[in-house]
Chain A
């Protein structure tokens, strides 16, 4: 590839849905399995797809606290919905992963550590909040002294086609968390879908060498100023139409100084400790290791599976669970996400995707809980009282 061609591809391009199909086909030819959103049993999940027609074409999702349903749109947009109950951690950090097996024969003890080779995956329709979540997982799982080998190798084998959000959902608040609705980095290519009187167009930006080389196989038209400013307009409108918002000012300190706030009792009464919020969260990474043997103890097996700070086993130490009450578990979760995460990993642990709000069976809303703590913050109350004087 000449430098000249490369530079021209750095310029935003415009492709049609037919060209997107070609693009997918190109990735398949290079050995990628295409994973993207698709409608299954009335919900948008992530699974292997054959082409753009397997995407939720013409569907949108209506989301609110403990509520989700799909609706038909008047157009045939490919990406007119937001995030579903599953996140990309399903692939990067699978729900179950065998770590090793051991076999005993006579006197010897044989250890088998055959982790599967992660497949080449092309993720389609990764939203800006999800890019931010993947970036967080990168830091947590590979950024420290020890790295999660399966995760690291899967990440190396992953091609990312991100999609900017022009239609934010009812529980989205990425604008508050500074993670969306426009993707800034972390993708190979990013699409902005524009469906209007001028047709159905996809604006493409490349974000990596791999993205560039994949795009070079298409004869894509250069993006006009018109479509670029149309996309900008859609995205800035989206930022103003978020279903939720979260005031992050002073958040870490607010939560730390309110650890003993009686308000936590209220949410503790409502919380079922069912763990749905953590398992749908794209950044929650906690796991349990499970050991089993066969009947005669000739074989043993260790597996890693998703766990949650909402289970009793999670904080079990000699003598019992450290967090027996729902209140203590909810508080642990929320303060870890929004406060302790900063100290531990240098960012917020929440990217504003809204999944925990939608998929909590009783509709507990992280943004409302923060609001409530803020309202019941004794420090804040003093300030207001003083300013009233």
Chain B
């Protein structure tokens, strides 16, 4: 509407690789439409300038790994109407949450010459462990189409059209033959949240679950089947411990097989 100020969209970075922010940059054509529809108030991958809040939508990338970040996320929450965490780091702690299964102090002393300057938390945790989150968009990295859908849904105050069923449904929608049945590959697709469009099975690869657990993941039954197919306990631990290792269901399943050995 004329005269009305554009909504402010802010992108914030925590412990992450920037890949999810890049998905927004990757929108290319659509990025112009986004810039038309909103004022981009913060976007670290593009510019260091930050426009003051409050923000209509804050997209938060990355996990919380330092005491400073644990503070910073609260400020962002206070300044944001909607806070959407994007990507496996922000929604499940990311690959860096592998440290949650070990002693982080040992890593620090093994890597840094002067560990005393390093201020870090034992665990890498998702944003929702620290502040209320309005929506979590999954993926490592997030899918750019889904990211646009979430932005337009929040701008237009409607529910984002993001399905939380299995990747298997995406295989079937695009006519991909199941790699688990036809090729005997250990696929995590049946317990994995949709969103990627079944990229890996379309290239004859098993899904390694970069989108994390689906709505009702039966990891136990899948693990049992994978064992029948010859997957070892150690391999199961590693399968469930990747980008979404800290997601409850995956943490539980990987821990069961760790004990097994």
Contact = CB atoms under 8 A, between A and B. Distances in A.
A84 B218 CA distance: 26
A304 to B, nearest CB: 12
Contacts of A38: none
Given A272-B190, A275-B169, A361-B181, A86 B175 contact: yes
A208 interface: no
Contacts of B221: 269-272, 362
Nearest to A297: B156
B33 interface: yes
A291 B166 CA distance: 20
Contacts of A68: 177, 181-182
Interface residues of B, number: 44
Nearest to B216: A273
A93 B177 CA distance: 18
Nearest to A84: B177
A306 interface: yes
B178 A361 contact: yes
Contact of B172 (A67, A279, A326): A279
Interface in B148-207: 148-149, 151-153, 155-156, 158, 161, 163-166, 168-169, 172-175, 177-178, 180-183, 187, 189-191, 204
Given A292-B149, A362-B225, A275 B37 contact: no
Most chain B CB within 10 A, of A86, A272, A294, A311, is at A272
Interface stretch (A40-48, A242-250, A374-382): A40-48
A273 B172 contact: no
Interface in A321-362: 324, 326, 358-359, 361-362
A293 to B, nearest CB: 6
Contacts of B164: 312-313
A95 B173 contact: yes
Given A272-B222, A313-B163, A43 B182 contact: yes
B103 interface: no
A361 B187 contact: yes
A85 B177 contact: yes
Nearest to B158: A293
Given A276-B172, A311-B215, A292 B182 contact: no
Interface in B32-49: 33-34, 36-38
A312 B222 contact: no
Contacts of A152: none
A312 B56 CA distance: 30
Contacts of B220: 269
A279 to B, nearest CB: 4
A361 B222 contact: yes
Contacts of B36: 295-296
B186 to A, nearest CB: 10
B169 A311 contact: yes
Interface string A267-293: 001111111100110000000001111
Contacts of A279: 168-169, 172-173
Contact of B216 (A270, A324, A358): A324
B173 A274 contact: no
Contact of A295 (B155, B181, B183, B187): B155
Nearest to B184: A67
B218 A272 contact: yes
A69 interface: yes
B187 to A, nearest CB: 7
Nearest to B219: A272
B37 A274 contact: no
A222 interface: no
A297 B156 CA distance: 7
Given A296-B37, A326-B216, A361 B190 contact: yes
Contact of B173 (A96, A295, A324, A363): A96
A297 B152 CA distance: 8
A291 B190 contact: no
Contact of B161 (A274, A291, A312): A291
Nearest to A279: B172
A293 B155 CA distance: 10
Given A276-B168, A296-B36, A326-B216, A85 B191 contact: no
B165 A275 contact: yes
A305 B183 contact: no
B190 A274 contact: yes
Contacts of B38: 295
A43 B171 CA distance: 14
Interface in A306-320: 306, 308, 310-313
Nearest to A305: B173
Contacts of B165: 275, 308, 310-313
Contacts of A45: 175, 177
B204 to A, nearest CB: 7
Nearest to B153: A293
A274 B225 CA distance: 14
Nearest to A64: B181
B1 to A, nearest CB: 11
A112 interface: no
Interface of B: 30, 33-34, 36-38, 148-149, 151-153, 155-156, 158, 161, 163-166, 168-169, 172-175, 177-178, 180-183, 187, 189-191, 204, 215-216, 218, 220-222, 224-225
30 contacts: A45-B175, A68-B181, A86-B175, A90-B175, A95-B172, A95-B173, A95-B174, A96-B173, A269-B221, A270-B218, A272-B190, A274-B166, A275-B165, A275-B168, A275-B172, A276-B168, A276-B172, A280-B172, A293-B156, A295-B36, A296-B155, A310-B165, A311-B165, A311-B169, A311-B215, A312-B164, A313-B163, A313-B165, A358-B181, A363-B225
Pairs of residues from A and B, 10 with the lowest C-beta to C-beta distance, nearest first: A279-B172, A274-B190, A43-B177, A295-B37, A272-B190, A274-B168, A311-B165, A274-B166, A95-B173, A295-B152
Given A295-B33, A311-B165, 9 more contacts: A68-B182, A95-B175, A269-B221, A272-B166, A295-B30, A295-B148, A297-B152, A312-B165, A361-B178
